Structure 1
Amino acid sequence: MSNFDFAAAIAARPSGATKGQLVAAYGDPTQGCTRTGKGRFEPSAAFRRNMVKIPLSELPGFPDYAVPGTKISGVTFHRSVAPVFVATWAELHRRGLTGRLRTYDGATTYRHMLWNYSNPVSLHAYGAAIDFDARWNGYGIPHNQMQIDRDVVKCFEECGWEWGGRWGRSDGMHFQWTDPLPGVRQPEWRDAMAAGAPPKQRPTPAPPPDAVPGTHYLYGRCRVPYPKGQLVQEDAYRWASVATDAQGRVLLGPDGLARVVLFDDERATKKGLVK
């Protein structure tokens, strides 16, 4: 069981609803900064001193960086967030979930939201956010098409992180250290670690689509949306299956969400969907 005081960390966590609240907690990354183009900026040396790098040796099972061939030695956060992330990662590891994340896609990045100076400063610029599995859970991809592991999401939320996958304009790769944002419906397990870690349980991976007894599946061609300006991958057109009962009603998981599985033409051919 973790010795980290999640209750104290969650009590001290900033609201995140306004810039003033974020600046009070983390400092102002734009004060004395220099714009470097495409929504990015270089913060002052004074603000950079708030950042600390967590070595990978403290993050067992941490996924590879999304850019092939790029090696990283650690992950950078604001000094007040770094201990929270280390404790959260330790809890993920304790539950046997770290291997379910496929790629690390960045943490501290000095930029405005959507790389546009007209938008507010991103939580990444404060050193209070991290992205995983961006290729499969990019900005704007609908909730029911996200492929990020829901047990991983639940662990992050229990430890006090805000998940972008619950926002109206979803951002399923994104986790940030703030209070629940106004108007965002939160699960009952949000901040549960404030009451102490639950007993260790063996993870229960979701069975493959055709392995659930008595369950029927609907199959169809779909197009995976990509954020504006992002290069569309060759596999943007995929197939999808969703579990239903014998009457054709979509089955929902414990979190109230349908389980949609995306797959490519090769697998569709094996299923006899492509002639």
Structure 2
Amino acid sequence: MQWPSERSEELIAFYGDPVLHSSMNPKWEQDNIVDLVPPYAMRYSWGPPVTKLRFHKKCRDAFGEALLGIKKLYGTQSEIEAHRLHLTGGSLMVRLMRGSNRSWSTHSFGAALDIDPEHNPFHARWRPGFIPREAARVFQNCGLIWRGANGDIDPMHFQAVAR
């Protein structure tokens, strides 16, 4: 799939406008957001188990394929956990992009997923000990953009939005 760029007008043209008065537009949510039950046990980095992730219907399958690919690559829950790929910062969340006072995050459109944010911090370039490159390639092979590639500074973040 050809994803839109990060420009607000392209995101809205492709995914629709998720925001109504600084919070989620309920009609947009009802029409566009679908659930994804992870194919392996996941939990939020701050503790609670994840029963479902929520994505825009246009990119749900890409994220589902990526998580299945992680399960296939590592095989067991214990191996997935050894690489901290069971930890997430979440998917759908209406909020401004970090450092912006007017651009909505790709999470606002249900087009992003953060993996192990505690050990893959924002504003850090990828280095050993962060998400394994082979795991990031699984997401990339499913058409998703890794914001830790090519010296980018958000290694936890995968999105269905072009750079």
TM-score tier after normalising by the smaller chain length: 0.7 to 0.9
For 2:125 and 2:3, the matched residues in 1 are separated by 27
Larger radius of gyration: 1
Q: Are positions 1:34 and 2:21 aligned together?
A: yes
What is the CA distance between 1:90 and its match in structure 2? 1.8
Aligned counterpart in structure 2 of residue 46 of structure 1, from 14, 27, 30: 27
Q: Report what 2:149 is aligned to.
A: 166
**Any residues of structure 2 matched to 1:1-275 within 5 Å, and which?**
10=1, 13-30=2-19, 33-35=20-22, 42-49=23-30, 50-55=32-37, 59-68=38-47, 70-96=48-74, 99=80, 100=83, 101-114=85-98, 116=100, 118-144=101-127, 147-166=130-149, 170-179=153-162, 181=163
Root-mean-square deviation over aligned CA pairs: 2.1
8 Å CA contact 1:103–1:133 kept in 2: the answer is: yes
Please give the per-residue CA displacement for 1:49-100, whole angstroms capped at 9, x wherever unaligned.
1111112xxx2224221112x2332000011111221122222222226703
Structure 1 runs, 4 residues or longer, greater than 3 Å off: none
**Aligned pair in 2 of structure 1 residues 79, 146: CA closer, same or farther (>3 Å)?**
same
Report the number of matched residues. 156
Unaligned 5+ runs, structure 2: none
Instruction: Note closer, same or farther for the CA distance 1:102–1:92 as it changes in structure 2 (3 Å cut).
Output: closer
Q: Deviations over 1:157-209 (max 9, x none)?
A: 11111111126550010000123x2xxxxxxxxxxxxxxxxxxxxxxxxxxxx
- Structure 2 Cα separation of the partners of residues 161 and 153 of structure 1: 9
| CA-CA distance at 1:14 after TM superposition | 2.1
1:165–1:130 CA distance, 2 compared to 1 (3 A): same
TM-score, normalised by the number of residues in structure 1: 0.52
**Residues 146 and 172 of structure 1 are in contact (CA less than 8 Å); yes or no, is this contact kept in structure 2?**
no
| Residue deviations 1:227-259 (CA, integer Å, cap 9, x gap) | xxxxxxxxxxxxxxxxxxxxxxxxxxxxxxxxx
Alpha-carbon distance in structure 2 between the residues aligned to 1:168 and 1:21:
24
Give unpaired runs (5+ residues) of structure 1: 1-9, 36-41, 182-275
Secondary structure of the residue that 1:148 maps to in structure 2?
coil
Aligned counterparts of 1:144 and 1:119: Cα–Cα separation in 2: 31
Distance 2:71 2:97 in 1: 30
Q: Distance in 1 between matches of 2:152 and 2:26?
A: 34
